[in-house]
Amino acid sequence: MKTHRLGDYGADVSLLQTRLIRAGYALAVSHVYDAATEAAVIALQTKTGLVVDGIAGPKTYAALATGQRDPKHLADADLARAADTLGVPIACVRAVNEVESTGSGYLVDGRPKILFERHVFWRRLKAHGIDPAPLAAKYPNIVSQTPGGYQGGQAEYTRLAAAELIDAAAAYESASWGAFQVMGENWERLGYASVDDFVSRMENSEGDQLDAFVRFVAADSGLLASLKARKWGPFARGYNGPDFARNLYDVKLTRAYDKYAGTEKAAA
């Protein structure tokens, strides 16, 4: 199922509306993702414990089909705990979850989403006492001093598997993991027992993936200060890197925060 939100329209939206009506939610089949549809989705998300954002994505469709949240999926309570740990309004965490997460922390086959970084693998091999230069000549797609070689989706696991044959720990450290794409090389700085412990947590649940994000922010005083002050430009630069503006991360974060902050103010 495609992801839909307020303002979308078409046959997929009408199908969503029909399914919501069958589940007992009061609205009309208008083919438009209107306020009534958003309200019904919010009601479903609230009832099942999903993140309450009014956006109908794969996790919302799954909850609509089963009547409950998959335990591996992020819960609204997870966002509340993250906000409390970081000392920020929950609207901040909702905004980051909407913009920075990939919507789901898992591939359709149940494995965590990853992106293998060949330039990080070069660096981590050196840290593990392995000369990357001859390997780069033989395997340029997985070992290089420059980023690239991305294949996306499940194909990233093919790259990871090839890297594991060289050095498993360095391979795990060279991928970003889960919904918030935290790099494995951060495992020690973030307080995990080992890189294997980190990967195990990323496999366990999106709640654990969010916890990795919380640890990442908490470990960087500048990043945390930017989040607390709602300075989305510096936050996006620190989290996404110097090219953050190319993807309008700061603009998207600002808009998402304003939306959630406004919703919470109205509810109060």
* Helix, strand, coil content of the chain in percent (nearest 5): 60, 5, 35
Domain range for residue 48? 1-70
Token pair of 96, please?
A: 């980051």
Question: How far, in Å, CA of 30 to CA of 32, rounded?
Answer: 5
- DSSP code string of 33-62: --HHHHHHHHHHHHHHTB--SS-B-HHHHH
pLDDT at residue 168, as a whole number: 98
Q: How far apart are CA 118 and CA 136, in angstroms?
A: 9
> pLDDT (tens digit, 9 = 90+) per residue, 16-58?
999 999 999 999 999 999 999 999 999 999 999 999 999 999 8
Q: Provide the CATH number for the domain around residue 38.
A: 1.10.101.10
Beta carbons of 91 and 260 less than 8 angstroms apart: yes
| 148 located within any domain | no
Judge whether 121 lies within some domain. no
Radius of gyration of the chain (CA): 20
Domain assignment present for residue 18? The answer is: yes
Tell me the pLDDT tens digit for each residue of 200-231: 999 999 999 999 999 999 999 999 999 999 99
Identify whether 41 is part of a domain: yes
Dihedral pair phi/psi, residue 106, rounded to 5°? -130, 150
Does 159 reside within a domain?
no
Does residue 31 sit within a domain? Answer: yes
Q: d(Cα 143, Cα 159) in Å, to the nearest integer? A: 10
Sign of CA dihedral 140, 144, 150, 154: positive
Enter the DSSP assignment of 245.
G
Task: Using 70 as the pLDDT threshold, list the residues of the chain that sit under it.
Answer: 1, 264-268
Q: Does residue 33 form part of some domain? A: yes
User: Which residue intervals of 33-167 are DSSP H helices?
Assistant: 35-48, 58-66, 76-86, 90-100, 118-127, 133-138, 155-164
Q: What is the spatial distance between Cα 99 and Cα 231, in angstroms, rounded to a whole number? A: 15
Q: How many whole angstroms separate alpha carbon 164 and alpha carbon 225?
A: 37
Distances in whole angstroms, Cα of residue 156 to Cα of each of 113, 114, 220, 266: 9, 7, 28, 43
Cα separation of 3 and 57, whole Å? Answer: 4
Q: Is 234 within the bounds of a domain?
A: no
Number of domain units in the chain: 1
